[in-house]
């Protein structure tokens, strides 16, 4: 059967493999929703509802570390899209504010509720509703965990390329709402490029179904883009149609050492031209690798001899020719002097260790508190000048702070983590870096979103006319500011 309706086991653990065998009864997406009025209190009797402080502790903060100043009124965990519609409709009618939550893995404070909010947690909407194994699409509910989805489609010979550190807890709805980036943007684009269709509940409870499954659809304004990357401020994402790719047989990784950013740019240009299956291009500075080695209790690659290292990954066939392509490419660059040194793993375990160095930032940050972790977009041609000026300014603020650098530089995404800083200086640290981001024409958020934490600094990336238009769109779709209030921009 080419098209199946199915779901994983409800409440499945984040790191388990979803089995694609159980079939759902026919349930057309975007079906009719009862119009009978429901009060929030009546819904709280039929929907999973948490009210006790001990029960809602997990819903008070996200991975940013920002915590709620007060308690929400309740946490509602619907089991169906119909229940989501009823909850949103009831909140709209009663003037209640909603905080929408996915896996709470965001780093911008977007999932943190205000006191008295109704928290709408989508973790129980975790079903796969349709898997088209001919056309290569999958329709999932918003609460589906990314890692579970990837395991499910790979078991059937398909591949969903979105990959990020929170893969075991983040949910597809949140990935779409924040337009998540990750390690493979260079080849596949951000989440926006992977979404074919959406279903969204608007602020007044209207269910809007746009579950397009085709790559081409020129039928007017593509409304799904109003909701991708807008962090739940314009609607609640309930279902998503995702684009799949044939599963690669194998991944190949290598680490190359270079002397500076000019060589990084040259390596990127050559890799894109000569490695058509290039999927990742991760850049790590010497001090970042040294810090990763400390927390992992491992000797850093090359024993930290070189200023910058680049982790490259290709995807493709499991053949001797494919294995030799990356090695041969780096061998030629070693001979020409464009690369100073290289590590070619001889096993998947050795490759995984290189990626552990890349993914060690969570452990590193725990040693730098109080810190500020920046996720910024910088034009590659201005990267060197930005780093020099920003790090010099940070050193003047706190000479003893560490300024660690790594990033997905194939797409201009730089991660700068700095600390420890005195708590009273954290605002000055943010202002300093974001002013420099504005000066070089960059973005204050490359992939983590704006949420609550970065909202005061949005002016450094978006002009007055842009912010005014964003406010107009918010007022048009959510005039009462009932959805994710105080995030991104005020209405």
Summarize pLDDT for 258-294 with one digit per residue, the tens.
999 999 999 999 999 999 999 999 999 999 999 999 9
The confidence score (pLDDT) of residue 36 equals: 59
Q: State the CATH architecture for 40-121.
A: 2-Layer Sandwich (3.30)
Assign 217 a pLDDT band (cuts: 50, 70, 90).
confident
pLDDT mean over 208-234: 94
The candidate with the shortest Cα–Cα distance to 258, out of 168, 367, 166, 336, is 336
Number of H helices, E strands in the chain: 13, 19
Distance CA 365, CA 404 (A): 10
Cβ(198)–Cβ(176) under 8 Å?
yes
Of 27-41, 187-201, 425-439, which range is least confident?
27-41
> Is 368-460 CATH 3.40.50.300?
no
The confidence score (pLDDT) of residue 410 equals: 80
Q: State the CATH architecture for 250-362.
A: 2-Layer Sandwich (3.30)
The confidence score (pLDDT) of residue 23 equals: 35
pLDDT surpassing 50 at residue 380: yes
Distance CA 38, CA 388 (A): 58
Q: Annotate 156-218 with DSSP letters as a single string.
A: TTEE-----TTTTT-BHHHHHHTT---TTHHHH-SGGGGEEEEEEE-TTS-EEEE----S---
Residues of the chain within CATH 3.30.70.2740 domain(s) are: 368-460
Assign 35 a pLDDT band (cuts: 50, 70, 90).
low
Q: Which residue has the higher pLDDT, 16 or 270?
A: 270
Cβ(117)–Cβ(127) under 8 Å?
no
Assign 65 a pLDDT band (cuts: 50, 70, 90).
confident
pLDDT surpassing 60 at residue 463: yes
Q: Which residue has the higher pLDDT, 7 or 319?
A: 319
Report CA dihedral (182, 208, 137, 159) to the nearest 10 degrees.
20
Beta-carbon neighbour count of residue 354 at 10 Å?
Answer: 21
- The 10s digit of each residue's pLDDT in 350-366 is 999 999 999 999 899 99
The confidence score (pLDDT) of residue 408 equals: 87
Q: Which residue has the higher pLDDT, 28 or 91?
A: 91
Residues of the chain within CATH 3.30.43.10 domain(s) are: 40-121
The residues, any chain, with a CB within 8 Å of residue 172's CB and separated by 6 or more, are 140, 141, 142, 143, 144, 145, 146, 149, 240, 242
pLDDT surpassing 90 at residue 24: no
Secondary structure letter of residue 272 according to DSSP:
H
CATH number of 3-8+125-246: 3.30.465.10
pLDDT mean over 297-325: 93
Residues of the chain within CATH 3.30.70.2190 domain(s) are: 250-362
pLDDT surpassing 60 at residue 329: yes
The confidence score (pLDDT) of residue 412 equals: 85
């Amino acid at each position: 059967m080419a098209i199946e309706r199915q779901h994983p086991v409800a409440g499945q653990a984040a790191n388990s493999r979803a089995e694609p065998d159980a079939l759902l009864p026919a349930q057309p997406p975007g079906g009719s929703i009862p119009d009978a009025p429901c009060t929030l209190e009546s819904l709280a009797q039929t929907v999973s509802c948490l009210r006790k402080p001990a029960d809602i502790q997990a819903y008070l903060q996200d991975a940013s570390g920002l915590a709620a100043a007060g308690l929400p009124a309740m946490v509602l965990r619907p089991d169906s899209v119909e229940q989501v519609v009823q909850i949103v409709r009831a909140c709209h009618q009663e003037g209640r504010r909603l905080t929408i939550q996915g896996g709470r893995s965001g780093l911008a404070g977007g999932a943190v509720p205000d006191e008295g909010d109704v928290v709408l947690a989508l973790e129980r909407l975790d079903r796969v509703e349709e898997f088209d194994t001919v056309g290569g699409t999958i329709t999932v509910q918003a609460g589906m965990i990314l890692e579970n989805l990837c395991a499910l489609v790979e078991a059937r010979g398909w591949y969903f390329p979105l990959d990020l550190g929170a893969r075991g807890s983040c949910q597809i709805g949140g990935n779409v709402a924040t337009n998540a980036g990750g390690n493979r943007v260079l080849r596949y684009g951000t989440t926006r490029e992977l979404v074919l269709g959406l279903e969204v509940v608007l602020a007044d409870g209207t269910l809007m179904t746009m579950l397009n499954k085709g790559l081409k659809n020129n039928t007017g304004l593509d409304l799904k883009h109003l909701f991708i990357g807008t962090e739940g401020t314009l609607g609640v994402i309930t279902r998503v149609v995702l684009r799949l790719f044939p599963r690669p047989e194998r991944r190949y990784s290598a680490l190359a050492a270079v002397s500076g950013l000019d060589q990084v740019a040259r390596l990127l240009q050559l890799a894109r031209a000569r490695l058509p299956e290039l999927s990742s291009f991760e850049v790590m500075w010497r001090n970042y690798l040294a810090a990763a080695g400390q927390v992992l209790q491992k000797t850093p690659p090359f024993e930290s001899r070189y200023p910058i290292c680049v982790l490259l990954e290709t995807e493709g066939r499991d053949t001797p020719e494919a294995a030799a392509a990356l090695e041969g490419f780096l061998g030629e660059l070693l001979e020409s002097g464009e690369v100073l040194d290289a590590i070619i793993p001889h096993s998947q375990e050795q490759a995984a260790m290189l990626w552990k160095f890349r993914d060690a930032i969570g452990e590193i940050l725990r040693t730098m508190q109080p810190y500020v972790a920046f996720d910024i977009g910088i034009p590659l041609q201005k990267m060197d000048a930005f780093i020099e000026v920003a790090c010099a300014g940070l050193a003047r603020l706190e000479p003893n702070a560490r300024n660690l650098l790594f990033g997905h530089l194939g797409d201009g995404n730089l991660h700068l983590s700095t600390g420890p800083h005195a708590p009273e200086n954290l605002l000055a640290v943010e202002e300093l870096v974001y002013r420099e981001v504005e000066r070089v024409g960059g973005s204050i958020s490359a992939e983590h979103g704006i949420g609550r934490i970065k909202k005061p600094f949005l002016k450094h990336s978006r002009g007055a006319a842009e912010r005014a238009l964003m406010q107009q769109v918010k007022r048009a779709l959510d005039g009462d500011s009932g959805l994710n209030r105080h995030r991104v921009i005020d209405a």
